Amino acid sequence: MNAPLLEVEDLVKDYGLPRERLFQAPGKVHALRGVSFAIQAGRSLGVVGESGSGKSTLARLVMALDAPTSGRVRLLGRDLHALPREELRVARRDFQMVFQDPYGSLDPRQTVERIVSEPLAAQGAPRDEQHRRAREAVEAVGLRANDLRKYPHEFSGGQRQRIAIARALVTRPRLIVADEPVSALDVSVQAQVLNLMQDLQAEFGITYMLISHDLAVVQHLCDDVAVLWQGRIVEQGPPERLFAQPRHEYTRTLVEAVPEPEPPRPGPLATPFQSRG
Ligand code: ADP
Ligand code: MG
């Protein structure tokens, strides 16, 4: 088998708490207690867990936005947290992130063009390339070229998340980490955004790490799901296996929270007349 695109090795993250009493050592939050996994290129890993289980911490460490207490993040064979600053800046074209909040994560004072091309600008790409690739990216997510001149407030939540995805796509990354990308959206819009992510994966061969508190959100997009609980992966496997045979108590809770799929509605072809034949 080829070397994985992303390898996370024994990742630990402690956060220091402010000292509560003068003669007592300050407390610590053990946000991640030794997390390891790998994702092969073109595959998707879902990371599910309740609030506070360490999902966003894991995302920030994988994106090298924050340093681990110990452990390694290897992308395309490079140890991201050991790279010199300048090499890390260049390496960032290979991995991008989509955040949960499509309202807070897009700068309201910037045009869509500036927002979407920002990761390329950070790479020092020439202006004409920024413009061309921003246009390609917004079109890839189902928006129009003239949306580039608009501002975030002119778009709905689902469209804003498309803008955020376009920004993540613009450097043609190998890996996209999406932290609760649909949690702030109406249920009816969630499926559209997830379908878009799936289409983009087929088109561009993207590898996803998709984070959600909701097993239903990751099950369609992800070949493999890791269940994070109190900073540890307590169970990992294909979603069908987790549904059929959850091994950990917390996985069972997640499975029970997923509504039963609705029976398929009869489509236009399945009229009583036709189905009799
Ligand atoms: P999740 O995304 O699964 O809700 P987080 O990674 O945000 O979990 O948080 C994991 C734990 O780390 C929680 O207990 C949270 O309160 C704590 N935590 C997260 N960020 C910080 C921080 N910057 N300082 C202190 N504690 C933090
Ligand atoms: Mg979070």
pLDDT digits (tens, 9 = 90+) for 6-22: 999 999 999 998 887 88
- Among the listed residues 264, 260, 245, 238, the one whose alpha carbon sits nearest the alpha carbon of residue 45: 238
Protein residue with least CA distance to atom 17, ligand 1: 31
pLDDT digits (tens, 9 = 90+) for 227-269: 999 999 999 999 999 989 999 999 999 888 887 765 555 555 4
Is the shortest distance between the CB of 26 and ligand 1 below 6 Å? no
Please give the Cα distance from 265 to 55 (Å, whole number): 35
Q: Which residues crowd ion ligand 2, with CB under 5 Å?
A: 55-56
pLDDT digits (tens, 9 = 90+) for 78-137: 999 999 999 999 999 999 999 988 788 899 999 999 999 999 999 999 999 999 999 999
> Which whole number is the average pLDDT over 192-207?
96
Is the shortest distance between the CB of 54 and ligand 1 below 6 Å? yes
> Which pLDDT value is given to residue 276?
35
Is the shortest distance between the CB of 68 and ligand 1 below 6 Å? no
Q: Is the pLDDT of residue 44 over 90?
A: yes
- Among the listed residues 219, 205, 141, the one whose alpha carbon sits nearest the alpha carbon of residue 175: 205
Q: Is the pLDDT of residue 274 over 50?
A: no
> Which whole number is the average pLDDT over 211-228?
94
